[in-house]
Structure 1
Amino acid sequence: MSAINLELTSNAECNELFELFEGFLMSLNYPIQMTNVSMPVDLSLYISEQEKLLEMTKNPYKRMLQESYIEYSKGIEVSQDIMQRQRYIIFFEKMKEDSPEMRYETSLEIEEKKDEIVASLSELGLKAEDVTDIELIRYLHTMFDYEGAQNRPIENTFVPQIIEGGKL
């Protein structure tokens, strides 16, 4: 979910935004949870572009400068000083029984809720999009192992089970 910078709004605009958001919350007839999570910055695409530039650079002084910039960018990725804030809206639908038909019905109900939330947020001028599997896994990784999520982010949806502790 995107955000609105309230620092740049007048008091009247700010009050109007709060009233609109309150109306959105009051229009829902099911519970939701909203969470803001500070996530490590993912600069992998940017760094790979810089590495491609480095390959094409012939001048040795420009190459040295580009190499140091790539190392600097990699340092930013693992720095705890620079974060990106991700906003999530969480909702659910209970299944009455575990059957293929009920799973299908439940998935349709979840889809309806999602569409309603996305439409309501777009009316407020906010952008919302589905969370991908890898984003969900990274979200959970950040919740349970923040430092590990910064230094060793999960790269794909296959995550082997790791069990630590216990006695033999």
Structure 2
Amino acid sequence: MAPSIIFLDEIDALSPAEHRSDTVSQAERALRQLLSQIDDIEQLRGLVVLGATNRLEAVDPALFEHGRFDLLLEVPLPDSQALKEIFRIHLRHRPIADDVDLDVLVKLAGGFSGADVEMVCEMAANNAIKELITENPSSQQNLLIAQRHLAAAIAERCKQKLE
């Protein structure tokens, strides 16, 4: 089994406080089982357990007891330069219009994660496809993702993040 990595994404979902009363007991059972497994894993050499969350305050404190998750590493949100590069990466193989301005997109997307940018690019592509199909279905026009598609997708993602 060793060397191995076990990665638990959104580990905060195991916190009983995060669930409605009808699912609290299920969450508590899952958390107890996870804690037991982590305690058993401690004896294995070469096995690393990683947990990730966007909401550290929601993670059950029992996970931070000795021998479980001993080290906390904060991965900050990307800065402007990194966001620009992330947009480049996710738009690289997509047909984009000449009006796309990455600097403007970065300003609109301040505080976004890389996953947010990926989602925005996907949403913008879908919006461009819908627009092409609904506005002119018989058109021979090429599909292009324009600045307006990306700006609308950023606005929609901002709205989703507030809900």
TM-score w.r.t. structure 2 length? 0.32
TM-score w.r.t. structure 1 length? 0.31
Higher relative contact order (CA 8 A, sep 6+): 1
